[in-house]
């Protein structure tokens, strides 16, 4: 009976040569896979960079062209009536505010990616923070005859958070809700307590909704969903990624429940000031 011991693998034997060739083939295959993966990563990075530059070029040019155009008309006194002067100066202000918001968004994303964005958490009352955000967003909602409702329980404990950053989260979410909700739609903002010392703030709309793939796109910085609504409105695709990052910096989370054609609910989970979180927050 023949046994297969070490002598069968001595140099020059058939099995030894096969083993050597197999090892070389496996190594070459691993190198080829690694090279292909690196190539794909480089192509994706290049594509993302190109899309970012194209998107930012458009978003920056739009308000800048408005500022230059209207200010030039005022400077050359092409328009002289007080009504037109007031109207065009208003356009310049709106364009400048949009440009500032755009730049601030880009800076926030850069800080988030560099790990340099921080929040100053302290106990805050949600009701006045939400009220100030609703005042900002309701004007845009009225333009589309969108009904905005809010519900904050009187006994809701204080939230442990940064009031300025919480406003930024809510304005981003409310702005998206108005943007993607058709005329005569409805938006509802609710707050309630969860178990384990967490509170949840939900923004629900009757808008166009998103598929799972679109949700994934919307959560990427500068990722924009190609819809008829999106094409009619300015946007950089920074709102949701920034809101998610800020929620995580607060020790909370952001969840999206959306269905194509049936609206979207975005929930922000934040630690309550009157309770010590003991586990990962989740929504029933």
Answer whether residue 46 is part of any domain: yes
Strand partners, 221: none
Answer whether residue 20 is part of any domain: yes
Position 85 scores a pLDDT of 85
Q: Are residues 106 and 128 in the same domain?
A: no
Answer whether residue 249 is part of any domain: yes
**What b-and-e string marks burial along 18-40, b requiring 16 or more CB atoms within 10 Å of the CB?**
eeeeeeeeeeeeeeeeeeeeeee
| CATH code of 164's domain | 3.30.565.10
Q: Are residues 91 and 142 in the same domain?
A: no
Q: Are residues 264 and 128 in the same domain?
A: yes
Beta strands in the chain (DSSP E): 122-124, 147-151, 159-161, 186-193, 198-205, 253-258, 264-271
Q: Are residues 16 and 113 in the same domain?
A: yes
Q: What is the rounded distance in angstroms from the CA atom of residue 263 to the CA atom of residue 178?
A: 11
Q: Are residues 208 and 258 in the same domain?
A: yes
Position 174 scores a pLDDT of 92
pTM of the model: 0.64
Give backbone dihedrals phi and psi of 235, rounded to 5 degrees, phi first. Answer: 175, 155
Answer whether residue 278 is part of any domain: no
Point out the domain boundary residue: 92, 117, 142.
117
Count of domains forming the chain: 2
Point out the domain boundary residue: 91, 117, 143.
117
Determine how β-strand 253-258 pairs with β-strand 264-271: antiparallel
Answer whether residue 283 is part of any domain: no
Range of the domain at 246: 123-271
Q: Are residues 167 and 88 in the same domain?
A: no
Q: Are residues 94 and 233 in the same domain?
A: no
Position 234 scores a pLDDT of 54
- Sites in the chain below the pLDDT cut of 70: 1-22, 40-59, 221-237, 274-284
Q: Are residues 175 and 245 in the same domain?
A: yes
Point out the domain boundary residue: 56, 88, 117.
117
Answer whether residue 38 is part of any domain: yes
Closest CA to 274 of 198, 201, 222: 198
């Amino acid at each position: 009976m023949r046994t297969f011991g070490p002598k069968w693998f001595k140099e020059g034997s058939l099995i030894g040569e096969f083993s050597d060739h197999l090892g070389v083939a496996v190594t070459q295959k691993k190198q080829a896979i690694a090279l292909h993966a690196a190539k794909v990563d480089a192509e994706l990075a290049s594509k993302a960079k190109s899309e970012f530059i194209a998107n930012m070029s458009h978003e920056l040019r739009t308000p800048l062209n408005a500022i230059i155009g209207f200010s030039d008309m005022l400077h050359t006194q092409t328009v002289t009536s007080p009504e037109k002067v007031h109207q065009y100066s208003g356009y310049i202000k709106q364009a400048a505010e949009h440009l500032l918001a755009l730049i601030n968004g880009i800076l926030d994303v850069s800080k988030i990616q560099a790990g340099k964005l921080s929040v100053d958490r302290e106990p805050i009352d949600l009701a006045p923070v939400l009220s100030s955000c609703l005042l900002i967003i309701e004007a845009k909602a009225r333009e589309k005859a969108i009904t905005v409702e809010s519900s904050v329980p009187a006994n809701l404990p204080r939230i442990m958070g940064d009031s300025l950053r919480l406003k930024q989260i809510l304005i981003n979410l409310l702005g998206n809700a108005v943007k993607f909700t058709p005329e005569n739609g409805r938006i509802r903002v609710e707050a309630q307590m969860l178990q384990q010392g967490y509170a949840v703030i939900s923004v629900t709309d009757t808008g166009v909704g998103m598929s799972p793939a679109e949700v994934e796109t919307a959560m990427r910085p500068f990722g924009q969903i190609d819809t008829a609504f999106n094409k009619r409105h300015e946007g950089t695709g920074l709102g949701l990624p920034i809101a998610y990052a800020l929620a995580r910096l607060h020790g909370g989370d952001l969840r999206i429940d959306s269905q194509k054609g049936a609206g979207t609910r975005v929930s922000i989970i934040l630690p309550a000031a009157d309770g010590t979180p003991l586990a990962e927050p989740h929504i029933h």
